């Protein structure tokens, strides 16, 4: 009898070629699937809540897999964590209904983006080091414009554009902690590179390249070419997936 097991994962994406398995490349999915095969003695296919980019991180990625193994959860949990590399940790594991799907059952996701105002050696793989001043009050005003249901075609990779690019942004906020600016956003869905393009464009608002009216026009235009650059992946974190 097949069992369906859900896992919550934390990882440092610095030395990975993203989440998704790719031939001859080190990926988070590939590492976990290979180690699960050793623990369970069978080939495993992970279904994730979402794919993270090359260099992006996760505090709360979620995935599930089906297995024929009767090994108890504690043994799977401890065995898996004992052989995973140091940049991946399984935070939680539980058996779920057979029909549970990490991707399709998710009702919302939370992402965080970290910006360091200046230079840092210790955090260089985990923040975007910003080399210019920004006006935070302008960034906050522009961020308010993305709340609610909007078409985010201007803020996604053009080739990944779908028939429906509407997303409902439940909240989006900024906090300043010492030298860091921290952006957090929750939505029912996210388009490819949406958070990174939003952050890059909002920084252009903060430095005066775009006015608030310009930002509103970019959102309405549904044209990626009018938005700002894509912020680096190293500052992006998948924080939580809600079900």
Question: Which residues are catalytic, by number?
Answer: 53
Token pair, residue 154, equals 């201007």
Any long-range contacts for 140-146 (C-beta under 8 Å, 24+ apart)? 140/174, 141/212, 142/202, 142/205, 142/210, 142/212, 142/215, 143/172, 143/173, 143/174, 143/183, 143/202, 144/172, 145/212, 145/215, 145/216, 145/219, 146/172, 146/198, 146/219
Give the start-end residues of each E strand in the chain. Answer: 3-11, 47-48, 57-67, 88-96, 108-117, 128-130, 148-151, 166-177, 180-187, 236-242
Instruction: Note the helical H segments in 8-58.
Output: 28-40
């Amino acid at each position: 009898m097949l069992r369906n097991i859900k896992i919550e994962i934390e990882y440092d994406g610095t030395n990975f070629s993203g989440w998704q398995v790719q031939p001859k490349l080190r990926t988070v999915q590939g590492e976990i699937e290979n180690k699960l095969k050793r623990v369970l003695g069978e080939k495993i296919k992970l279904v994730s809540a979402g794919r993270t980019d090359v260099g992006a991180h996760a505090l709360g990625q979620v995935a599930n897999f089906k297995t024929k193994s009767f090994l108890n959860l504690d043994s799977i949990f401890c065995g898996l964590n004992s052989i995973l590399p140091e940049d991946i940790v399984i935070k939680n594991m539980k058996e779920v209904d057979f029909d549970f799907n990490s991707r399709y059952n998710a009702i919302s996701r939370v992402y965080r983006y970290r910006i360091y105002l200046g230079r840092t050696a210790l955090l260089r793989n985990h923040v975007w080091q910003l080399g210019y001043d920004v006006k935070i009050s302008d960034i906050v005003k522009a961020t308010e414009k993305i709340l609610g249901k909007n078409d985010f075609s201007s803020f996604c990779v053009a080739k990944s554009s779908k028939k429906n690019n509407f997303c409902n942004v439940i909240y989006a906020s900024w906090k300043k902690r010492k030298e860091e600016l921290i952006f957090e956003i929750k939505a029912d869905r996210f388009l490819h590179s949406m958070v990174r393009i939003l952050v890059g464009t909002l920084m252009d608002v903060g430095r005066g390249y775009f006015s608030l009216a310009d930002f509103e026009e970019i959102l309405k235009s549904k044209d990626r070419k009018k938005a700002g650059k894509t912020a680096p992946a190293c500052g992006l974190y998948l924080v939580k997936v809600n079900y």
